[in-house]
Structure 1
Amino acid sequence: MTAADISMCLKVWRIYHKEDLSSKKLFSMLIDMGVVTVTAVGAAYVFSNLASAVVSDVFWGVGSALTTTVNGVFAALWISYCEQAYQQRDRLQEV
């Protein structure tokens, strides 16, 4: 699931910016966004995926709903970030 999410993030970035997200650019983004915040969100994301996997083994429907919700929120946040970066880039190009 996490690999699929990473792939989704890279594809969304490519759609918005028509370029691949390099490791140098990713590091720069992490610094801009605040490494502590990103690390905390990343750890929470991994933990929630792990917890949803455990829950899905015990309670199939609850685990599926939890996984879908976590992935949906993550996707919405990433798309929001890409949209913000895209609009900012366009504003800089107009000047």
Structure 2
Amino acid sequence: MVNTLGKKRLEVVLAIVGCAAGGGAAAATPTPCVEAPKQLMLTAADILMYTSIWAIYFEEELSHKALMEMLVEMGLVSVAAMGTAYAVARASTALVCEVTDWLGPLGWGASALLSGSLAGLSGVAWALYCDRRYQKKGSKAPSF
């Protein structure tokens, strides 16, 4: 399991880095007055990253049933708080990116850094949750 876990962790890190870099590159593209739709697209990309991380750890698609079990396990209050924090962060990112679009290349770089960091941090948080869940699943050895 240790070798498998190390391989999974490496795949997850590469997925997070790829998504964060892609999101940062997309955010760096200047789009005055179109930042909110761009943030929605980046949110969709983040959701794909989360499902990819889940698939790497558990070698299955994230089903509605599994999602509901996780929500109950994590506590709905915690989930609501995380969802609200993510939405506020994306909305704030849209506002900041709208302003930085007018600053030229320096502002575009700041937008890329901000958006890529948000994707990376949320990906790491999700990966830590999946890693812990995977380890718990692996530690439940059958008793004879």
**TM-score, reference length from structure 2:** 0.62
Gap regions ≥5 residues in structure 2: 1-41, 101-106
Q: Which residue of 2 aligns with 1:71?
A: 119
CA distance change for structure 1 residues 87 and 94 in 2, over 3 Å: closer, same or farther?
A: farther
Q: Which has the larger radius of gyration?
A: 2
Which structure has more RCO (C-alpha within 8 Å, separation ≥ 6)? 2
Distance in 2, matches of 1:87 and 1:26, equals 18
Q: Does 1:18 align with 2:59?
A: yes
1:9-88 alignment, distance < 5 Å: 9-59=50-100, 60=107, 61-88=109-136
RMSD over aligned CA atoms reads: 1.3
Secondary structure in 2 matching 1:20: coil
Gap regions ≥5 residues in structure 1: none
Q: Which residue of 2 aligns with 1:90?
A: 138
Could you tell me the percent identity over the aligned residues?
Answer: 37
CA distance change for structure 1 residues 8 and 44 in 2, over 3 Å: closer, same or farther?
A: same
1:10 shift after superposition: 0.5
Q: Which residue of 1 aligns with 2:8?
A: none
